[in-house]
Amino acid sequence: MTETTNGASSALHKLKQHPLILLLVVLLLAGAGYTSYWLFQKTVTTSQKEQATEHARELATKLRSTTNHYLKERNQQLLSLAEKSLFTTAAASADMAQILSAEKLLLEWAPDFTGGYLITPGDQRLIDQQNFAGHYLAEKTLAGDLQSIAAARLGKEWQLLYSHPLKDQQGEIIGAMLGMESLQPLLDVLKPAVKENLGLTQLVQTMPKTKGATFVTTGNKSKALETIELKLEPANWSLRFTGSKVLLQSTEPSYEGFALFGSVLAVSTLVIIYLLLRLTLHFHVDKAPSPRAEKKTHLNPPATDPVNDSGKSFLDVIPGKGTTDTPVQEQEDRPEVTGSYPDVVFRDYDIRGIAGKQLTVDFAQQLGKALALRAIARGEHTLILGRDGRQSSEQLSEALEQGILSTGCHIIHLGLVPTPLLNFATHHLQQSDCGVMVTASHNPAEYNGFKMFFQHHAMCGEEVKSLRQEMSAEIPEKTPGERSQQDLSEDYLQAIISDIVPAQGLKVILDAGNGAAGELAIRLLEGIGCDVLPLYCDVDGTFPNHPPDPSVPANLEDLRLWVKEQNADLGIALDGDGDRILAISASGQIIWPDELLMIFARDVVSRHPGADVVFDIKSTRRLNSLISSYGGRPVMWKTGHSHMYNKIIESKAPLGGEFSGHIFFHDRWHGFDDGLYAAARLIEIMSIREQGL
């Protein structure tokens, strides 16, 4: 100990004779400190802002969807009224008394409207009322503009104006139906869509040679992020969303970049200082060396420094944040924690295995804990859960719940539902956009599994495989979270039914394979006007009639026979959790998913020219040329519903599909694979074209 102290004193004595070296050390430390601060600003602060901006973009997209949906419903309401003979007869009569009587009836049938008019050529009433915007809109309709919408300031308030043509029996335009409403109903829809304290929402209308007029402003005006502007379906309307300080502060920053670069900087600085001091001491020459020093120089090898007499590196005397009392050898000998969970169940795009053997109650509990911690790390404190009808699903779901709740994370349980309804909930509910589905999809009855969706992203690849190590770690328990139950089936059905053009009494045979989607799919198809004949639509987790995999021709044999026997227009087959679809034509021919994608692509690309259509490598090569011939851009992507879903969201493609039957709509729907919604869209196309498959 005395020898070590003497060596250190000698080293310090020598260093005092080199003030420039000491100054350089101080400058190096100061530079490292400044660089650390700069790195923090560049990595952590910038990362937080980027994540908050991305969240703001998601909120803006949700607001745009809400606004477009509201305007579409209002337009549809006026269109249905404009087609009634009562109003076309009044307009054709040119009798003002009859027109005024019809206008009074219009307001009774559309009580939300503040004004309603039947305008015929030469009618100057709106000019007399100084409603120039309404007059202009009606004139556009009379000139052949089939659907018009505008915002106008009438007096002290903004109002929304809708106009549709009134046509005689020959299809000639004889008048315009004009509906007016205040902004309040639109605000009542926008405010619940996104929490008001998260940002400022504005709707802007741009007219030729103007900068644009803001007619809706609501939310938090404490601007902290760049304004995001998205186009709305009225061509001259846009939505602007500016994230607030609340949104920025609620975003959890990422410290990974700072930790990486900061560690490199700290190690580099210490190494440079160490080498600098070693070289200084090594080449130091005393002006008057003491006899003891001369003796030491003679006894020790030339490369040995007095500071190092203790056998320790110079860096060992510098206290560090990571210093522990554990010997290095003991740390190296400690075995890596891997747990007993089978590696084979962690698949590329979900977790799947044999229930009771590979997927046990303990497995589900630990998975729940790991997923809850991931959600909390992303700023989410609630997980949405759903399960299919397999015999093991309820037990695994309960165990998953126990694990999640033990971390302090909350749960919204949807009960027995198809996977698309769980995905719908992550878009529909304000509390969370993270969900877990207990299902093995199309696999046999003895299997089960977990599909995981975090912030509109399906876990896949390394995200799934790394869960194995996280589940094996020690996860401390906290005050249990809260559990609530919600039934969103009606919300889900109404969202689809309101989006689909009603069918014309098509006879449809539905085979749900005794999976989770049967009862809901029947209600949906009946809701859009179909005559539904159910086949294997009761939930039975043993799948007594055939495995729940519609991609196997043998599993479609009963459906094919019944379609022909009942002279049905269409047969629809769904898988065990309702996210896959396959169709049967009236003649009993199997319409494979890539052929369905051709039908959907023609419809979607006609509305979105030049749009991307994503398909997997297993699909037919004909898709490439067909999509191009329709005016779309074919995009081939890797197989797997998670990979496809993430690609659809990332590229904002309005349509995508897999050969296995996963169809993704992102034009009027949310982008996830949904067999029920795909069935409704197929029936819509058949109804509009008035032809079979």
CATH number at residue 126: 3.30.450.20
Q: For residue 257, what pLDDT band results from cuts at 50, 70 and 90?
A: low
Long-range contacts: 243-247, Cβ < 8 Å, 24+? 243/52, 243/53, 243/55, 243/56, 243/59, 243/198, 243/199, 244/197, 244/198, 244/199, 244/200, 244/219, 244/220, 245/220, 246/197, 246/198, 246/220, 246/222, 247/52, 247/55, 247/56, 247/59, 247/198, 247/199
Tens of pLDDT, residue by residue over 483-539, are: 999 999 999 999 999 999 888 789 999 999 999 999 999 999 999 999 999 999 999
Query: Among this protein's residues, is 55 annotated catalytic?
Result: no
User: Is residue 309 one of the residues assigned to a domain?
Assistant: no
Range of the domain at 222: 18-274
Closest C-alpha among 413, 419, 375 to residue 397? 413
State the Cα–Cα distance between residues 375 and 432, nearest whole angstrom. Answer: 10
Checking if the pLDDT of 586 tops 50, the result is: yes
Q: Count CB neighbours of 507 within 10 A.
A: 16
Note the pLDDT tens digit of each residue in 397-425.
999 999 999 999 999 999 999 999 999 99
In a domain, 435, yes or no: yes
Distance from chain centroid for Cα 636: 21
SS in 3 state form for 264-303? HHHHHHHHHHHHHHHHHHHCCCCCCCCHHHHHHHHHCCCC
Q: Which of 232, 251, 274 is the last residue of a domain?
A: 274
Same domain as 505, residue 452: no
Whether 430 and 497 share a structural domain: no
| 352, 374, 387, 580: the active-site residue | 352
- Percent of the chain beyond pLDDT 70? 84
Exposed/middle/buried for 607, CB within 10 Å: 0-12, 13-18, 19+?
Answer: exposed
- Place 41 in a pLDDT band, splitting at 50, 70 and 90: low
Residues 424 and 573 in one domain: no
The answer on 123 and 86 residing in a single domain is yes
Whole-number Å distance between alpha carbons of 217 and 397: 43
Q: Which residue has the higher pLDDT, 655 or 220?
A: 655
How many angstroms separate the CA atoms of 651 and 662, rounded?
17
- Does residue 256 lie within any of the structural domains? yes
Residue with tokens 């639509």: 537
- Pair (619, 659) in one structural domain: yes
- Residue 453 identity: F
Residue 684 lies in a domain: yes
pTM across the whole model = 0.54
Q: Are residues 46 and 72 in the same domain?
A: yes
Mean pLDDT score, 290-306:
36
Spatial neighbors of 182 by CB under 8 A, at least 6 apart, are 114, 157, 159, 160
pLDDT at residue 516, rounded to an integer: 98
Burial degree of 193 (CB within 10 A; 0-12, 13-18, 19+): middle
Count how many domains the chain has.
3
Verify that 419 and 550 share a domain, yes or no: no
Asked if the model's pLDDT at residue 628 lies above 60, the reply is yes
352 part of the active site: yes
> Which has the closest alpha carbon to 463: 370, 362, 340?
370
Known catalytic residue at 298: no
Give mean pLDDT, residues 72-80: 87
Residue 13 within a domain: no
Closest C-alpha to 684, from 450, 499, 428, 537: 499
Quote the Cα angle for 630-634-640, to 5°: 130
Does position 27 have pLDDT exceeding 90, yes or no? no
pLDDT at 306: 35
Query: Which residue of the set 55, 374, 662, 666 is catalytic?
Result: 662
Are 482 and 360 members of one domain?
yes
Q: Which residues, including other chains, have CB under 8 Å from residue 658's CB and lie 6 or more apart?
A: 593, 615, 616, 618, 619, 639, 640, 641, 644, 673
Q: Which of 403, 459, 396, 395 is nearest to 426 (CA)?
A: 459
Same domain for 644 and 672, yes or no, is yes
In a domain, 399, yes or no: yes
- Crossing angle of the two packed helices 85-93 and 96-109, in degrees rounded to 10: 160
Q: Is residue 413 a contact partner of residue 485, using CB atoms and an 8 Å limit? A: yes
Domain for residue 364, yes or no?
Answer: yes
Note the pLDDT tens digit of each residue in 529-579.
Answer: 999 999 999 999 999 999 999 999 999 999 999 999 999 999 999 999 999
Edge-to-edge strand ranges of the sheet holding 507-511:
531-535, 507-511, 570-574, 581-584, 590-591
My answer on whether 496 and 449 are in the same domain is no
Of the residues 441, 551, 619, 660, which is catalytic?
A: 441
User: Structure tokens of 497?
Assistant: 């039914």
Q: What is the mean pLDDT of the chain?
A: 85
**Tokens 């992020």 belong to which residue?**
225
Give the CATH number for residue 423.
Answer: 3.40.120.10
**Domain shared by 527 and 633, yes or no:** yes
Residue 397, pLDDT score: 98
For residue 78, being part of any structural domain is answered with yes
- Please give the pLDDT value at position 265: 67
Q: Which two tokens stand for residue 582?
A: 């396959």
Share of the chain above pLDDT 90, in %: 57
Same domain, 437 and 520: no
Which among 243, 274, 305 is the end of a domain? 274
pLDDT at res. 320: 35
Tokens in use for 458?
A: 């399906």
Are residues 572 and 586 in contact, defined by beta-carbon separation less than 8 angstroms?
no
Residue after which a domain boundary falls, among 220, 241, 274: 274
